[in-house]
Every structure is written in C-alpha cells, then in structure tokens.
Chains A and B, each alone.
Chain A
Amino acid sequence: MTEAARIPRALQLQLCALAAITLWPYALFQPWYLSLLAALLIGWRAALAWQDRATPRRLVQLPLALVALALILFAYGNPVGRLPGLAALCQLLPLKLLETQRTRDIRVTLLLAFFLIVGMFLHEQSAIVAIAAGAASLFAIACAARTQRPALPLGESLRLGGRLLGLGLPLMLLLFLLFPRIEGPLWGMPLDAYTGSTGLSDRMDSASISKLVPTGGIAFRASFKGAIPPPAERYWRGPVLGLFNGEEWRPLLAPPRSRASYEEIGRSWDYSITLEPNNLRWLLSLDYPLRSDSGRFSYDNGLIASAPVRQRTRYNLRSYPDIVVGLNESAELLEIMQRLPPGFNPRAIASGEEIGGRWLRAPERLRAVIDLMRSRSLQYTLSPPPTGRNSVDDFLFVTRSGFCEHFAAAFVVLARAAGLSARVVTGYQGGEVNPLDGTLVVRQSDAHAWAEVWLPERGWLRVDPTAESFPRRIDERGLESSLPPSDALPFMVRTDIGWLRNLRYRWEALGNTWNLWVLGYNAQRQMAMLRSLGFADADWRMLVSLMAGSAGLWLLWLIWRLAPKYARADALDRSWQRFCKQMARRGHARHSWETPAAYAARLSLQYPAQADNLQGIAELYARLRYGKLAAHADDISTLRARIKTLSASLGST
C-alpha cells in the first residue's frame, strides 16, 4: 500500500478504537474535562470515518489544540512537567487522528500511541495497567499490520499481533531480569516528579493527618517471621516532631547524629517492610528498632534512609517493644522538648502551668495532664470544626472535637507547659492482616499521631492521647468503630461488607506479589537472583555478558521458529528422495517428467529381478502422496523399510 493512499474505513475505525483503548486508563488520573475533550475528538473522528467523510481542514485543528492547551493550563497551572506533558500527549493523539487520512500519517499516530502506553506507567504500574498496556500494544501492532495489508481481517491481524508479541515475550523476560538496573535518575527530575506519592509529611498542622485518611491507599506492608504483634502494639514510628511554632510541628532543625544507646532485652519482632514511595527519609518501624539492613538509626529511636524514598523499598528489621529508651538523654535536648512558642494558646499553657505548680513529680504531672484531657470530654471526628490562631485552646475549650493530630498537639502543649519534656510522634497505628498471605497491610487511613513524654528513670514513654480518650481507636476494631457513623471512610476501608473484604484481601495479596517481583525488581534483587543462580561475585559485566548470551539464544530460537516450513520436506518425500538418489547413484536418475510408476517401469527393465519390489515402492509412494487418505506414520515406515531392503538386495547383486 502506498504512503499517499487513503486509509480504508475499517482501518480508520480501528485507529479510533486504538486511541480509545490507549487513553482510557488516563481517565482515572487526569481531570474529567481533559478526558471528555479527548473522547469527543475520538468520537468525532470515528463518526467521520463511519460516514466516509473527509477529515476537517487544518484550520479547525488549531483552535481545538488551543482549547486543549488552555484546559491543560487550567488543570495543572503550568505547561512544563511530567503530568502536563503527558496530558498534552493525550490530547495530541486524538488531534493527530483527526488529520490522519493517508497511510503515512498512521506512522506518527502509532508512535504516539506507544508513547502513551508507556506514559501511563508514570501514573500507575499495577497489574491492571500492565494488562491494559498489553492489550493496547496488541491493537497497535494489528493496526500497523493492517496498514501494510488493508485486506487483512481484524481477527487475523490481532492473531498476527499476538504471534509477534509472543515471539518477543522471551526476550522481554530475559532482558527484564538481566538488563543492568541503574539506581537513581539519569538527569534532574522535573519538580513535580513525586507529587503523585501521598503519605505522611514531615510537618504536622491541624489537618495533615486527617486529610490522609480518605485516600485509603496502602502505605506499606509488613511481613513477620514469627508472631504478628497485637493491635495495641502496632505503633509504626515515622517522623518525630519536636519543634512547635504555634501553627505547625516540625522535626529538630539540627538533630544530634548520635544514636541513643540501649540494651536488647525482652520480646522482639522480626519482620520486613515493603514501603511505598513517600518522598520522605523516614523508614517506618515498630517501636523500637535495633537492627536493620538499611538506613541509619536516628537520635529519636527511628530509622532514617540516606535519601528520600522514591521507589518501593524493602528492608528487614528487628524491633524490641519492651526496651527502655532515652535514659541518658542530654539535658539540652530535654530542654528543647519543653519549649513553647510565646503568645500562642494562653489558656492551655495556663492550665499546664497550674498542673506543674500543683504536682512536683513528673509521673504525677503526666497523670494530671491525662486526667485534664479526659475531663474535657473531647470528641473524636474525622472532620473537625476549624480552629483559629490558638489551635490547641480552641480544640480544648471551644470546639472540643478533633482528630488524632489535635489530641497529640494538645497533649504535648499541656505537658510542656506543665514542665515535662514531650514531643509529637507521627506514623501509623494498626494495620490489617491479610489472611491469604499473612502480611500486615497498613494504609494511609491508619496514619496517626501520638506523643512521647520523658520521665526520669523511665526515659521516653509513649502516650497516645487519642487512645486515652478513645481506647477503641487502637484495639482490633480500629478507626471505623471510634468514629461517629456520619464520618465517611473510604469504601475499601469499611469492614462491614464481608465479600468485599475477602475480595480486597485477594487483590492485595496479588498486589504484594506483583510489587515484590515485578515493580520491586531492582539492582539488589538482580544481584540476589544472580547469586542464587550460582554467580557468587556478580557485577554488571557479568550481567551484560549473560544478557548478550541469552539474547543470542533467543535469536537462534526465533530463527528456528520462523524458518519456513518448505525447507523441511516431510518424511514421506524424504524417503522417496532417498530412493531416487540411490537409483541415481547407480546411473538411473529420475527424469523430472517421470511419474513414480513410469520411473519404476524403467527401472524394472534394468533390474528385472527387483521389478516387483520397485513397482511396489513406486505404487506405495504414489498412493501415500496423491491418494485420498493422509499418509500415516506406519505407512511411511513401511515405505522406508522396503527401500532399505531393496537397496540391500541391489547392493548384494
């Protein structure tokens, strides 16, 4: 088909379908009006194709492109970056389709489709998206084949595409496993590169935790080697916030780099965590981690990675829940943990100072602070009323309802005013065991904030002001039971629908396997796999040579698979040709016009003694070759045997 030929109608419609298949996953991630515009453009193009009408002039596309650009600017605010770029490509495909009329235009359309299939992975890399990408590429290849051969039926083009993808599949597996994985980006990433990752932040204001709850996504998974800790002990430690400026809580600006020392005593949990990327340096861990294969231990008993976590990370840990930490904390640090910003929350500070004046011993002061909070009959809610400048005062004395960040902040402010050293700890509390694979799944909706108070002789003591007021928050029933029914939880977190819960368990177990083996396959896993294959000191040179070798093997396999069948004469013809060759060696080559019978008749004149045998062979061959019944393997072996006996007897004469 020549480049300038008009595209047949069926292929035009197929291209529209390809655009739709390629773009539908984007509808889940981009603003609805962008998807609507793309859908309208594709629909328009399909209608034109259906009615066999010409595509609009270029003059029409310019305003359409400007509309698309304006919508992208409206949605993303700036035209540069990963997401606006992808969104622009998403609009470019239908726009290109709108002017696709000749065969040569298809080339660009297909390239755009392939780019968009890969671009989708920037949004999401789930198994579903992988299946969608496979379907889209199958369709794109079918389109390419039909461009070359318009008479090709759709079904056959899909079968052809499937065959080509199937031939490429072994190479994909080999290269996926063996292509040397490089850690980290090759060039500077656009600023918005990681905005997609949700999760804890290293700041806490009066809404930072509660706004995570509705997202419902998975924060991390933990798989335990032995027993799984009871719900009340599932405090996953994240950022520790010691500074308060009146509005938000922050970590120490210049934290001591030394690690607090303590003894390994009591029970221990052995587990590994698969952390979803959160663009933070905190590696979540159960209180208190003592051994880990990645990250370093911080002064505040947490675990910190060397760089922000921008890809799914897996690390192994051991935590000791019963040990005492912070006994020899420095006086300077303890003093910092008592500071309060002047001019904020006067009523709370007054209440705290009153407690500090009445009680002298630290445990008594702590008791008094907790009692004070209990006596306020505070309400636990996901959608607290807004608070003003004095957020703790408003929470304790005016609105009296809030989420865990309000409880934690109020407690620490009261404790500090009472003369105690206290700090806010954020992280996750709880998690749900997937009964199918035994992993503990912790979601963004499990995000939590609690407090730690330093007591002489006791060190840092965890106090969960939310649990003190609402104990059900941390027992088996979790967040849902402690919230009033009017507070909406994400659909997937609700536990009252049994089959849905079961489905979710299955789905997440699958997701965990997928994450571990497909998405989490990185340089370390690559080396581990090589080691398990017996290559003890594997390096990238080894990888490259293995890769080249296996790709060569694949190529040989490919050549063998694709070798035309005509090269291999079937067994029947091979036998007959052997017979003819033997006779030719004796000086009686078969002429090309001779039928088997005529040839046998001529040979019989030369070898009258073998006449029966010769004619028998010719007759058998002719019957098997040209007869109605297909030659059976037994018949062919009979023929072969007769030829063998003939040549033996001829050789003896």
Chain B
Amino acid sequence: MSALGLNKHLNAWRERARRLMQRVPGPERQPIVLPQRRVYVMPTAAGLGVVVMLVVMLLAAINYNLSLGYAFTFLIAGSGVAHILATWHNLVGLRIHLKPGEPCFAGEMAEFRVQLDCPREQRRYALQIFDAAGSERLSIDHSGTLASPMALPAQRRGWLRAGRLRIETRYPLGWVRAWSYIEPDAQLLVYPQPAGDLPLPSGGASGQQDARQPLALAEEEFAGLREHRPGDPPGRIAWRRTARDGTLLVKHFTPLDYAELALSWQQLPAALDVEARLSQLCQWLLQAQTAQLRVSLQLPGVQLDAAQDASHYLLCLQTLALFAHAEAQHD
C-alpha cells in the first residue's frame, strides 16, 4: 500500500471516529432536534477561575473561621451547579432548521437561513454557530420564529453543504459552555466564479471563428429612453436626462444582431484548465445576460440550445456549476 493510500485510509478512519465521537451520523434530516446525549458541557476559562476562587474562599473561611464565608462559598457553588444545568438545558431540545438561500458564485459568501425554535415557547438565549473551521458565523440573541441569515464562504463551484457546524451557548453565566455538533443536509448551488479576460466570442452561429480575434459586444442601435425597471444594468442609466427630469431613465437599445452567441468549451485556449474554462464561460454568460443575447452552451457531453429567457440562463449556470462535479446530488 502506498503512503498516499495509507493516508487516505487513515483519514477515512479519522473521519469515522470523529462522527462516532460527535454522534453525528452524517448529513442529518432536518429539522434537527438536539437530544440530551448530543449536548456537551465543559467549563470555560472564566468557569475555571470561579472554581479556583471558590477553593480559595473555602480555605479562607476555614482558616479565619468565617461562618458567612462558608455560607457564601456554598451559595455560589450551588448557583454555579444550577447554572451548568441551565446552560445545558439552553441547548437540549433546540430545533434547528437550516434553509439554503439563493445560489451564489464561487468566491462569494453563500447565505443560509437558520431557524431556531423550541417546543412549548421555551426560549433559548445567546446562541452562536461556528463553522467547521471554527470561526463564528452567527450569533443569535434568542430563538424565535424569525430565520436569521448565516453567510458561509463558497469556495468552490458545485453543491455547497453547510458542513459540520458547532452550535454553542454560554448563557446564562458564561462559566461553562454547552455545545453540540450538527450537520444539516441543507445544500446550496455555487456557480463557477466569473473570471477571465477573454473577449466575447463572435456571434456567429458556427462558432468556428478565431477566438483570439476581438469581437465587439453585439452591436446595438440606440432606440430611445424608457423608464427604469428593476434589473436594468446601471451602465445604461441616462444620468443627464435623469438629473434634468427627476425620473430614472435608461437608454434602450435594440440589438442589431439577433444572432445567437455560442459559448463553447472548444473555443477556449487549450492552456486553460477545467475551472478556468468554466470561469471564463460563466463570465461570458453573465455578459450575454446583461446584453440580453441569445446564448447556446456547449460543454463536453452537454449541449444546450440557444435561448434568451431567464430560466435558460439559470439552466446554463447550473450546468456550468455541476459540470463534471463529483458530488452532484439532487435531493
């Protein structure tokens, strides 16, 4: 067995041991209700400080024979134990529902929506969610009905899972922290990062033209001004007229060339690797969408015929996102 193979096995075992330890069976069906056995409690640095303080107080009470010193030490100790249970109960039984937000592009932050609630109106307070890397992603004052947005970095295209999250609380006193690991089955589609500075290929249906030859954006003819609609590209706002008239006006163009834009894998220089090609295609696709061009997409093994509507652009983006994606899952 090669060193690499051994390493792979080791990692697999480590992962299995981790899942066993953290009692997370893998991506879990939602909503996740935290059972008692999955909530752990450990003292924090502040809690250890309190323990040391209590020991010192008890010694002082014994040494100086302070009856009230005994009483006070025991009172704080009792409240501390009660607070450990309270912290634990702040997490046990919590119902977590993680919902994916809108798809995003790689390199952006993917937004999930977290809904935390509890049966029987029992509110939970001061909850925090950390991602697998250990950085805090969400801090919620109290559980309730409103879903809170939680942004996770989308590094690669494809399906983004929220991954193993740690949900934690130190409420009420911060002397202990209770936490649990969850792995919700929520996933969100990440499109390739739009990148690449190659110009748009020419609008020829053949797609055989030399890609290196710069082609202007499909030429358009100025067709007049119209009122701004949501979604109009800001570059087309007629600022001068807008400033004069007070209503937001955009320049309206009629594409001269209705010929479709063929985006093809083969057009791209052979030096580019797969991800760079996909990034470039995505860049072009977005430019085409801005210009409202008819686009066809051709990838190895995939052929999408030309169309211009929004659902077609979405389909193209999804195709790019999931092209040759190992973990493509639809559920």
Contacts and interface: CB of A to CB of B under 8 A. Distances in A.
Interface of A: 1-2, 107-108, 110-111, 114-115, 117-118, 121-122, 125, 129-130, 133, 137, 141, 144-145, 147-149, 151-152, 160, 164-165, 167-172, 175-176, 179, 182, 185-187, 189, 193, 310-311, 518-522, 554-555, 558-559, 562-567
B51 to A, nearest CB: 11
Interface stretch (B18-26, B53-61, B100-108): B53-61
Contacts of B68: 121, 125, 129-130, 133, 518-519
Contacts of B122: 564-566
A107 B119 contact: no
Contacts of A520: 67
Given A2-B139, A164-B79, A168-B80, 9 more contacts: A2-B136, A118-B57, A148-B125, A167-B79, A168-B76, A172-B78, A175-B77, A558-B81, A564-B93
A133 B73 CA distance: 11
Secondary structure at chain A's binding surface: helix, strand, loop or mixed? helix
Q: Give me the 8 closest cross-chain CB pairs, A-B, nearest first.
A: A168-B78, A171-B78, A168-B79, A167-B82, A566-B119, A175-B74, A149-B126, A172-B74
Best-surrounded residue of B79, B80, B170 (most CB of chain A within 10 A):
B79
Contacts of A114: 50, 53, 57, 76
A137 B78 CA distance: 13
B63 A186 contact: yes
A521 B136 CA distance: 51
A366 B118 CA distance: 93
A149 B125 contact: yes
B79 A165 contact: yes
B170 A148 contact: yes
B171 interface: yes
Interface string B30-73: 00000000000000011001100100110111111111111111
A175 B70 contact: yes
B91 to A, nearest CB: 11
A122 B62 contact: no
Residue with the highest number of chain B CB atoms closer than 10 Å, among A171, A311, A518: A171
Interface size bucket, B side?
Answer: 35 or more
Most A C-beta atoms less than 10 A away, residue of B66, B71, B89, B119: B71
B76 A115 contact: no
Nearest to B88: A562
Nearest to A563: B89
Nearest to A185: B63
A111 B75 contact: no
Contacts of B139: 1-2
Which of A110, A111, A118 has the largest number of chain B CB atoms within 10 A? A118
Given A151-B141, A172-B75, A564-B93, A1 B126 contact: yes
A164 B60 contact: no
A172 B86 CA distance: 18
Contacts of B80: 168
Interface in B102-145: 118-120, 122, 125-126, 136, 139, 141-142
Contacts of A117: 72
B78 A170 contact: yes
B71 A172 contact: yes
A565 to B, nearest CB: 6
Residue of A172, A193, A518, A563 with highest tally of chain B CB at under 10 A: A172
Given A122-B64, A566-B122, A111 B69 contact: no
Contacts of B45: 107
A186 to B, nearest CB: 5
B120 to A, nearest CB: 4
Given A164-B86, A558-B82, A565 B120 contact: yes
B52 to A, nearest CB: 9
Given A107-B45, A165-B79, A125 B67 contact: yes
A141 B83 CA distance: 10
B162 interface: no
B173 interface: yes
B328 interface: no
9 contacts: A107-B174, A133-B72, A149-B171, A149-B172, A167-B79, A170-B78, A171-B78, A562-B85, A567-B93
Nearest to A554: B78
A599 to B, nearest CB: 22
Contact of B50 (A1, A111, A118): A111
A311 B65 contact: yes
B70 A186 contact: no
B136 to A, nearest CB: 7
Contacts of A187: 63
Contacts of A555: 81
Contacts of A107: 45-46, 49, 174
Nearest to B66: A121
With most chain A CB atoms within 10 A of its CB, the pick from B56, B60, B61 is B60
A118 B136 contact: no
A493 B75 CA distance: 37
Contact of A144 (B63, B82, B119, B174): B174
Contact of A521 (B67, B171, B175): B67
Nearest to B83: A164
